[in-house]
Amino acid sequence: MRADDMPLSKEYEPDELEQRWYEWWLKRGLFHAEVDEAKEPFSMVIPPPNVTGSLHMGHALNNTLQDIVCRYKRMRGFNVLWIPGTDHAGIATQNVVERELAKSGIQRKDMTREAFLEKVWEWKSEYGGRIISQLKRLGASCDWSRERFTMDEGLSRAVRCVFVRLYEEGLIYKGKYIINWCPRCHTALSDLEVEHALEKGKLYYVAYPIEGETGFVVVATTRPETILGDVAIAVHPDDPNNSKFVGKRVKVPMVDRIIPVIEDEMVDPSFGTGMVKITPAHDPNDFLVGQRHGLEPIQVIDADGFMNENAGRYRGMSRFQAREAIVKDIEAAGLLVKIEEHEHAVGHCYRCNTVLEPFLSEQWFVRTEPLAKKAIEVVREGKIRWIPERWVNTYYQWMENIRDWCISRQLWWGHRIPAWTCKDCGHITVSEEDPTKCGKCGSGNIVQDEDVLDTWFSSALWPFSTMGWPEDTPELRYFYPTSLLVTGFDIIFFWVARMIMMGLKFMGDVPFKDVYIHALVRDEKGQKMSKSKGNVIDPLDVIAKYGADSLRFTLSSLTVQGRDIYLSTQKIESYRHFMNKIWNAGRFALMNLGGFNLDKSHSIKSEDNLRLHDKWILLRINQVVKETTELLEGYFFGEASRLLYDFVWGELCDWYIEMAKPALKGDEGDRRKTASQQVLGYVFRKTLLLLHPFIPFITEELWHAFGFSVDSIEEEPWPSAEDLFDETTKASIENEMYILQETIRSIRNLRAEANLAPQMVVPHVVFSPTSAEAENIIARNEDMIKFMTKVGHINVNRTRPGHSLVSVLPWGNIYLVVGEIIDIPSEIERLKKERESLLAEEQKSLSKLSNESFLQRAPKEVVEKEQERLKKARERIKRINENIASLEEN
């Protein structure tokens, strides 16, 4: 392999090369995995995005992190399977299609179920693959030949199989219960699908006349419209103020129904008057009270959110219209005691934001407690690792307080519940195959349940249904349990916990060994991104402008376990500059490796002709290999990204490449040129391998430009950390390079303080050493110091020269002699003015920091910022005083 040509364009243009390389990877079958017992498997399933979805920044983060792991593991020699797919998203998809039909004046209720579903499948065929193509644009290295859909034939069979088995074991049942009902979407929602928002409402105090007496009991309620469905008033058994009313009967306002006053421990004596109206058909807690006391529920609000026939003269009003009307009527009747402002949590539909209605309905449920018990045990036993570990407590809290899972949804789009009711005997037949007759009486007069299953039911089976279950497939035996799940904290219970329960139940093993919970991507101010705030950063726009690699590296660099990401386009742009830096460094290396056989750079066998900076960069690249490997093994994506960023920009580009230029130009002789080429090839090869999982496109392009291999960079082994030097030599290299770098940095700082032009050559610098070792290091590298600092001569002299700027180092003083190149009086005057300004700034900071009010009231970070400002001002004042004193000496 020879670097003879210059195949890289002058400018880095990501769009063309990213699309070109992705197509090449697909044609090469790079992401495809087959069972191979000779290799260790590593498997993941993608959190299936909604088929209606478009790539957002949460998807971009989630899939970037997954892709980093997959590419890294491939390079480590694992047989990697990353299964992609989409979720049918019952409510969301049905809503999208209904809106499309409405544009043509068509309503779902005017169509047959079959005709509507045909329209949904047509929509899915045309638009459902959008997010998949967007994931490819991001660079996701999924095995696309195994793409699944939660309603494809295989997964639908798995869903039926699970439903039937759970039903036969009594873990699925049908019952009447209060559920969360969306009057807009016309479906039940699980407790987890409810989005609660604090809203300012009112607390209405209503008097209920006591039967046979002249007195009243007063009840506080936020929902006067449900008074029409009251069947009792309850007090707490230990309530000393209200227990005297227990056993009495009262009249319900506006309907004159006589109801009892009962006692129940559900009542909170501190709320309102300590007396609570019981409306079993419209409140989940009231429903349980009603069951305990044998109270018959009265439903007064229908499925559309309107008052029904039980509401009397309020029938036909919306629930909110009825609230206003009833309050007016109660007030007119003299039964409205008072109204208070009251802030409380109101449940909304997570899809359409409609205020939900607690609704008494017959639904299908999963009995979750026995499933949850085992799911808790495996986590306690350490069979699933949570990263960060703190999320395990959230998991325990939810699982230990689990309620039965309402799995039926009143939709047409989804997995239809495989249950048939006999119209003759009432028996329910549950079957994997469509039955033709009743399983009890043999009648053919059977009807399938109209409802579909909660979307999360099929998603709970994802780790094994995507591998062919219920068949005993080779993929299941080899790739299950999966190795890692990467997901957001907001679906730990929606999805993660349910996968654990179902995996244990049907596979007898956990569904994954590690769970990595990533944080939210927020805007630069820490706000959640939303269209209403106008702060959404669209990943597709970012990719179009800056490239996928820039976005990927930004997201990975900002990732810290347990901490939200604050994202801005400025940060993305800064990492686009990093891509330019890598690109330009690659172009420089290629120009200086012309004709060099890169096979020689695969290993460094000799220290011959190597200078200090060569040995240092060889030492550093191997340390970086070791550290990056350790960080990726622990899923420390941000730390690994920032380590590579600092190495490439700060150490490789700003130090080593600059120091290598004289040798590469031939100024140090042929042997030194060859040695520098060998080192540069060695370091670049390992650097590209380390960067590849994070920025796969640009590294693939550079890999082939260098001619390291005709294969994909991802087919190369992950680099190993080689020990090229013994421990004593390592310590010596690090110490000598530190002295050299700090000496160069000090001279550069002195030049900057003197406002010298970058290309201006300073006649000479004086080094006054206090260490013989440092004196020898500087002597051996004098040519490099002069080259890196634009200095004509370096004189060793223990006498302080006049008219100079000084930098004090642990191994001696550096004097930049400026008497002949700047106007000394003017420079002294300039420094004095700067000192005056800094002294004023110092006094201002001191004033703030001595103010107790400021220290107590100001946020911690504001106080710390002021302390840092004071520290920097004092350091600069000290430097100015030193420079003035040095300049004034003749």
Tell me: do 236 and 348 sit in the same domain: yes
pLDDT for residue 442 is more than 70: yes
291, 323, 358 - which closes a domain: 358
DSSP class of 534: T
Provide the pLDDT for residue 596: 77
Last residue of a domain, one of 518, 551, 585: 518
Q: Residue 85: its pLDDT value, please?
A: 96
What's the CATH code of the domain at 198?
A: 3.90.740.10
The 10s digit of each residue's pLDDT in 639-665 is 999 999 999 999 999 999 999 999 999
Task: Report residue 746's pLDDT band, with 50, 70 and 90 as the boundaries.
Answer: very high
The reply to whether 192 and 341 lie within a common domain is yes
pLDDT, tens only, 350-396: 778 888 888 888 889 999 999 999 999 999 999 999 999 999 999 99
Retrieve residue 89's tokens. Answer: 């998203």
Are the C-beta atoms of 91 and 120 separated by less than 8 Å? no
pLDDT beyond 90 at 109: no
Q: Indicate if 191 and 108 belong to the same structural domain.
A: no
Residues 750 and 819 in one domain: yes
- Answer whether residue 118 shows pLDDT above 80: yes
* pLDDT for 608 beyond 90: no
Q: What is the pLDDT of residue 606?
A: 55
* Euclidean distance between CA atoms 824 and 815, whole angstroms: 15
Please report whether residue 877 resides in a domain. yes
Does the pLDDT value for residue 752 go beyond 60? yes
- Which one of 330, 358, 386 terminates a domain? 358
What's the pLDDT tens digit per position in 268-315? 988 999 999 999 999 988 988 998 899 999 999 998 999 999 999 999
Please count the structural domains in the chain.
Answer: 4
In a domain, 441, yes or no: no
| Residue 695 domain-assigned (yes or no) | yes
- Dist. CA 779–CA 774, nearest whole Å: 8
pLDDT > 50? residue 65: yes
Report pLDDT for 743: 96
Q: Are 683 and 642 within one domain?
A: yes
Alpha carbons within 13 A on the beta-carbon side of 134 = 24
475-484: average pLDDT: 98
pLDDT in the model for residue 380: 97
Residue 101 lies in a domain: yes
Q: Which of 92-101, 116-125, 203-212, 633-642 has the lowest mean pLDDT?
A: 92-101
Average the pLDDT over 572-587 and give the result: 96
The CATH number for 652's domain is 1.10.730.10
**Domain, as residue range, for 628:** 567-725
Residue 875 pLDDT > 90, yes or no?
no
Specify whether the backbone of 621 is left (phi greater than 0), alpha (psi in -120 to 50) or beta.
alpha
Residue 600 has pLDDT above 70, yes or no: no
Q: Is there a binding annotation on residue 531?
A: yes
- Please report, for the domain that includes residue 65, its CATH number: 3.40.50.620
- CATH code: domain of residue 854: 1.10.287.380
What single DSSP character describes residue 384? S
Per-residue pLDDT, 192: 61
DSSP string, 149-195: ETTSHHHHHHHHHHHHHHHHTTSEEEEEEEEEEETTTTEEE-GGGEE
Q: Cα–Cα distance between 14 and 249 in angstroms, integer?
A: 78
- Cα 327 to Cα 550: distance, rounded to the nearest angstrom: 59
What confidence tens digit (pLDDT) does each residue in 215-265 have?
A: 999 999 999 999 999 999 999 999 988 989 999 999 999 998 999 999 998
Instruction: Give mean pLDDT, residues 694-700.
Output: 98
> Tokens 């008074």 — which residue?
227
What is the pairing mode between strands 258-263 and 232-235? parallel
In this structure, is residue 384 part of a structural domain? Answer: no
Contact call for residues 788 and 659 (beta carbons, < 8 A): yes
Looking at residue 2, its pLDDT comes to: 45
- The answer to whether residues 779 and 821 belong to one domain is yes
Judge whether 578 lies within some domain.
Answer: yes
Higher pLDDT, 191 or 857: 857
pLDDT tens, position by position, 790-839: 999 999 887 788 788 888 899 999 998 887 787 788 888 888 898 999 99
Please report whether residue 277 resides in a domain. yes
Mark whether 791 and 705 lie in a shared domain.
no
Residue 1's pLDDT band, with cuts at 50, 70 and 90, is very low
Residue 259 CA to residue 251 CA, distance in Å, equals: 6
Q: Are residues 263 and 214 in the same domain?
A: yes
Q: Are 600 and 668 contained in the same domain?
A: yes
Same domain, 62 and 205: no
**Nearby residues of 464 by Cβ (< 8 Å), 6 or more positions away:** 158, 476, 480, 503, 506, 507, 511
Whether residues 50 and 154 fall in one domain: yes
Closest residue by Cα to residue 267 from 256, 276, 259: 276
Write the pLDDT tens digit of every residue in 416-432: 999 999 999 999 999 99
pLDDT reading at 605 higher than 70:
no
Q: Please tell me whether residues 607 and 708 are part of one structural domain.
A: yes
pTM of the model: 0.84
Which pLDDT score is estimated for 673? 94
According to DSSP, residue 250 is labeled: E
Report the C-alpha gap between 221 and 330 in whole angstroms. 13
In a domain, 173, yes or no: no
